[in-house]
Structure 1
Amino acid sequence: MNESGESLKKIYHAVLNFDLRGAKEATKEALEKGIDPLLILNEGSIKALREAGSKFEKGEYFLPEIMVCAEAFQESYRILEPELTRKSERADSLGRIVIGTVVGDMHDIGKNLVKALLSGVGFEVYDLGRDVPIQKFVEKAKEVDADIVAMSALLTVTMQFMGTIIAALRKAGSKAKTIVGGAPVTADFAKNIGADAFAGDALLGVEECKRLVGK
């Protein structure tokens, strides 16, 4: 295995094995070696998160393990984010996306992963965070003239707000396309509330956003 592959493998194993400090240091080392930050993200930390998700589905990992894997991912991403931002600024923007977890929902692991990927491929991403009020989505979409508004939810009681947000965007005259995702969200639900797209996972979400802006 070449030096680049070894570096990516170190990040992968650090995230998968709950090593927060190791994930951070391995990411620094990879950047110092000149490895492309998007490659580090896709083939290092995101690849590890996907494997963690697979282990969760098989019953090999449980929610506490997934949470720590996500923390390790975040440690790696914090090092990558400035480089990914510079990379996207040098490239032509694919479009402006407002993203957030809907009101009442404090879960943001999936949303943060999608944000990382969208920034990496060249979107301008405006992250509203979690527990975002309906009107804040509308105001930010209007402020930045968003091409897309992306909404996430992990709870069945909070995902109902997605339809309210879409209706509020339309009432305010926003032309932004909408995409929804999260564990309880389905393609049928997305269609029923009038969303323009549904993201079954983070990577599909990126492809859908590219489709929505015609790229």
Structure 2
Amino acid sequence: SDAMYIGLDILRPYLPDNSGEEKVKAVIGVVEGDTHDIGKNLVKIMMETAGFEMIDLGRDVELQKFVDTAKEEHASLVCLSTLMTTTMGGMETVIHLLEEAGIRNQVKVMIGGGPISQKYADKIGADGYSQNAVEAVKLAKRLLNIA
């Protein structure tokens, strides 16, 4: 993972700068119980490059924190990641918590990670699934009707 982060530090200055534009806010993090964050970090960087304002909660994130942050920041998107089958259920819990908070209809939920599939996304009521960072950007733009 160190090699990947060194490579990203080298590439970052060459990525497009969208700092002057108004950005769509997205909350991103690895669900509670999981500390694997390389995939989440790749998605974050690709989304930032595409012009999204990413609010990174990190890894092993308490599930309610996704909801609280989305509400406080008026985020349009919540991106959930996990690499472990034992923490997949946390994604469904976040969706239920968004419903309980009354903001589920205001926020799109994207999920991804090693054990995740479109079938699982459909089962838990997520708005979309992406298997890699490039597809995550395309999915986010499609969900939010961004050209």
Fold-level match, TM-score > 0.5? yes
Answering whether residue 68 of structure 2 is matched by residue 139 of structure 1, we say yes
Aligned length: 144
Q: Measure the CA separation in 2 of the matches of 1:79 and 1:98.
A: 25
Greater radius of gyration (CA): 1
Q: Which has the higher strand share?
A: 2
Q: Which has the higher helix share?
A: 1
Distance apart, 1:87 and its partner CA: 1.2
Name 1:90's counterpart in structure 2: 20
Q: What percentage of residue pairs aligned between the two structures are identical?
A: 44
Q: Measure the CA separation in 2 of the matches of 1:194 and 1:153.
A: 16
Name 1:15's counterpart in structure 2: none
Name 2:28's counterpart in structure 1: 99
Residue among 174, 177, 180 paired with 2:111: 180
Name 1:120's counterpart in structure 2: 49
User: What secondary structure is seen at the aligned counterpart in 1 of 2:19?
Assistant: helix
Residue among 176, 187, 194 paired with 2:125: 194
TM-score (norm 2): 0.91
* Ranges in structure 2 where 5+ consecutive residues have no aligned partner: none
User: How large is the RMSD of aligned CA atoms in angstroms?
Assistant: 1.6
- CA deviation vs aligned residue, 1:175-198 (integer Å, no higher than 9, x gap): 210000001001010001000010
* Ranges in structure 1 where 5+ consecutive residues have no aligned partner: 1-69
Higher RCO (CA 8 Å, separation ≥ 6 residues): 2
Distance apart, 1:80 and its partner CA: 4.8
Amino acid at match of 2:98: L
Q: Any runs of at least 4 consecutive aligned residues in structure 1 with deviations exceeding 6 A, and if so which?
A: none
- CA deviation vs aligned residue, 1:149-206 (integer Å, no higher than 9, x gap): 0000000000111000011011112221000000100101000100001011111111
- CA deviation vs aligned residue, 1:92-133 (integer Å, no higher than 9, x gap): 42x110000000000001000000000001000000000000
